[in-house]
Chain A
Amino acid sequence: DAGVTQSPTHLIKTRGQQVTLRCSPKSGHDTVSWYQQALGQGPQFIFQYYEEEERQRGNFPDRFSGHQFPNYSSELNVNALLLGDSALYLCASSLDLGPGETQYFGPGTRLLVL
């Protein structure tokens, strides 16, 4: 049973560039959430996608956008990168049975902005 997968594993960008991160959910899951984890901090919720729509959003600027495809996979896009966007970006998938369902995490993409 395939777990959550993410690509790429590592990425180096420069300020002002744009980046796209990808996530495939665990088999049977229909909901994808994205989190940003800065060094020494817990993951911070960016947004969640269900039925190809953004269902809930955390406190992140509009530079952060996403998409969910019919096969439930998802992308996270970040425009106009800032040094402070350097972090581990985690994707989590779950089955939409209501709030509080367990989310399972992928290995993450480590983004470094120079």
Chain B
Amino acid sequence: EDKVVQSPLSLVVHEGDTVTLNCSYEVTNFRSLLWYKQEKKAPTFLFMLTSSGIEKKSGRLSSILDKKELFSILNITATQTGDSAIYLCAGSFGNEKLTFGTGTRLTIIP
């Protein structure tokens, strides 16, 4: 069965720190890996990764996929209090649904 595992489950850092969130997956028929940010309700889309080794970047956020080792990381540099949220990783494994991990709860202390 498709499985996505995120680590750490929670993380508390000071404003200005850099954080790395991890996502590993067990695949039956990998298509893509997606990262979402969930602050209160709606998960908002951050990145979709399909190719190994190609970094996607948006401002202070970046993400990369390793299809050989079956994992992805999400980096956030110069963190701000507005980055406090739950970060969800999800995989699309050859069918229509997204399989989510349990998320990493990130807390930024001013």
Contact = CB atoms under 8 A, between A and B. Distances in A.
Contact of A100 (B32, B45, B100, B101): B32
A105 interface: yes
Q: What's the interface size class on A, roughly?
A: 20 to 34
Nearest to B88: A42
Nearest to B103: A42
Contact of B96 (A48, A90, A106): A48
Given A56-B95, A100-B50, A108 B42 contact: yes
Given A42-B88, A42-B101, A55-B96, A106 B45 contact: no
Nearest to A99: B31
A86 to B, nearest CB: 15
B74 to A, nearest CB: 15
Contacts, number: 67
A44 interface: yes
A88 B36 CA distance: 16
Interface in B22-67: 31-32, 34, 36, 41-45, 48, 50
Contact of A42 (B32, B92, B102): B102
Contacts of B34: 102-103
A42 B100 contact: yes
B98 interface: yes
B43 A99 contact: no
Interface of B: 4, 31-32, 34, 36, 41-45, 48, 50, 88, 90, 92, 94-103
5 contacts: A45-B97, A56-B96, A100-B32, A103-B98, A107-B42
